[in-house]
Structure 1
């Protein structure tokens, strides 16, 4: 099952994807996804983000190899954005790139999870686009807060997909398009640190809780995103996420 959240008539509603690809509202109406105001598909807890978790992406940005231990940093909830939302590109930056990422949602309170048991604590998956501004990047191992924690810089959705509906999350195709042109084409099989390894690592030193979100990194193919661009990130079986790049005029709308 695929679940999403929208705002309609001032109310937050949970919706599901109908069999014809439309969106089924709680009152039984079926509408097109383009007609709705989307939120992230659920309220998340702690948001973990992985850096350099695909070897090809590490090489793409001039690293000889990915880190031997997962490179993890945290994101605040205000960084999240919904499907078909707008993300601001500040006027003074020279390079802001998209990152198609599989998001893993934790479903149980857990600690010291073994790799072989890791999938038992996963509730489901989401598609995410974790924009980064290279201008603000001082150190890949300790990213400046402005790189990844800007308001609305991480669209998520439109759907949360039950774990039972994804047969093998370590074999999913990830793709990104800029204005209809394919730029990124990878597979979760190429992660340096797998989903079970990430859950085992994080739970070895801290408690994970239901709703915690792990953004698992991005493959190579990232590209600059400019004002007016439509960026589409899609993960096989999980969902197609659309986002638009705006400029400083978005500050007035905040």
Structure 2
């Protein structure tokens, strides 16, 4: 099933089940409410009631879709996790890591699936990175590769927007260059794990103003999503709602200097998960 956070007009955000081009409100289903993160551990037991819910129905184009998870404890990204992308990063002067390389995206960067991306005044090196987003469903520590999939609630589309000069030159940990406000658009909804036969066999495609910049399958990961979860949980407890951005394929702007400009429209789409689309605007 697909679960979205949405608003009607100026109303408060609620949860809805996405059926084709409509969204059916589920917030009044007992045990659901308005926080997707809060219900993730109980999603399996709530599934039948959510699928049967017949609340108020709206067309998708009549509502505002919000970030499906707006309040994760952690938003983590892995760097240079696609073979071709690692090579283009090397060509741009970035050292290729010899193990999994993780960084924080501060959760204040989270943006809705159709919210504007703000181009900061202090940089002309605004870049894009389509990534498969994994949402953790259960509190977990020391998870094996074999058990890792059972910790996943579902998937969403992410654009790991990056400010390259702050990323590589001013913040060796990557955190600052990855965490500008609005630079974490996610969505358009959470697609639960049971809907995806193989998350390592999905096509990802990113366009800027209709021009294809990235078009790559998720099976090109150097470390797959299960290895990522096993690696991280040796260090930290992952919590329901934590978001893992699992790497971007080749085609980013950095190697050529083909960065985002004001009024560019960036569309990121992953097979089976939907698409997010964000316009670049100037910082006020």
TM-score past 0.5 threshold: yes
**Greater fraction strand:** 1
Given that 1:54 and 1:66 are in contact with CA atoms closer than 8 Å, whether structure 2 keeps it comes out as no
Match of 2:128 among 82, 90, 98: 98
Residues of 2 paired with 1:54 and 1:141: CA distance? 22
Alpha-carbon separation, structure 1, partners of 2:244 and 2:171: 17
Match of 2:118 in 1: 88
The Cα offsets for residues 83-141 of structure 1, whole Å up to 9 and x where unpaired, read as: 11001112342221111001111111111111111101111111100111112123699
User: Alignment partner for residue 56 of structure 2, among 28, 37, 44?
Assistant: 28
CA distance in 2, matches of 1:145, 1:208: 19
Shift of 1:65: 7.6
* C-alpha deviation, 1:199, in angstroms: 0.5
1:110 aligns to what? Answer: 140
- Contact map agreement 1:184 1:221 (CA 8 A) in 2: yes
Is the Cα contact below 8 Å between 1:86 and 1:243 reproduced in 2?
yes
Residues in 2 aligned to 1:116 and 1:154: alpha-carbon distance in whole angstroms: 30
TM-score using structure 1 length: 0.91
Alignment of 1:148-187 (within 5 A): 148-187=178-217
Q: Does 1:236 align with 2:271?
A: yes
Which of 230, 243, 248 matches 2:283? Answer: 248
- The alpha-carbon deviation at position 23 of structure 1 amounts to 3.1
- Is the CA contact (8 Å cut-off) linking 2:80 and 2:89 kept in structure 1? no
The residue number in structure 1 matching 2:14 is: 13
1:70 aligns with 2:100: yes
- SS of alignment partner, residue 236 of structure 2: coil
Q: Contact 2:204–2:271 (CA<8 Å) still a contact in 1?
A: yes
Q: Quick one: distance in 2 between partners of 1:144 and 1:115? A: 26
Q: Which of 252, 262, 277 is residue 227 of structure 1 equivalent to?
A: 262
Bigger Cα displacement from structure 2, 173-182 vs 135-144: 135-144
Paired residues, what number?
247
| C-alpha RMSD of matched pairs (Å) | 1.9
User: TM-score, normalization: structure 2?
Assistant: 0.81
SS class of match (1:11): coil
Among 119, 125, 138, the alignment partner of 2:155 is 125
Unaligned runs of 5+ in 1: 250-254
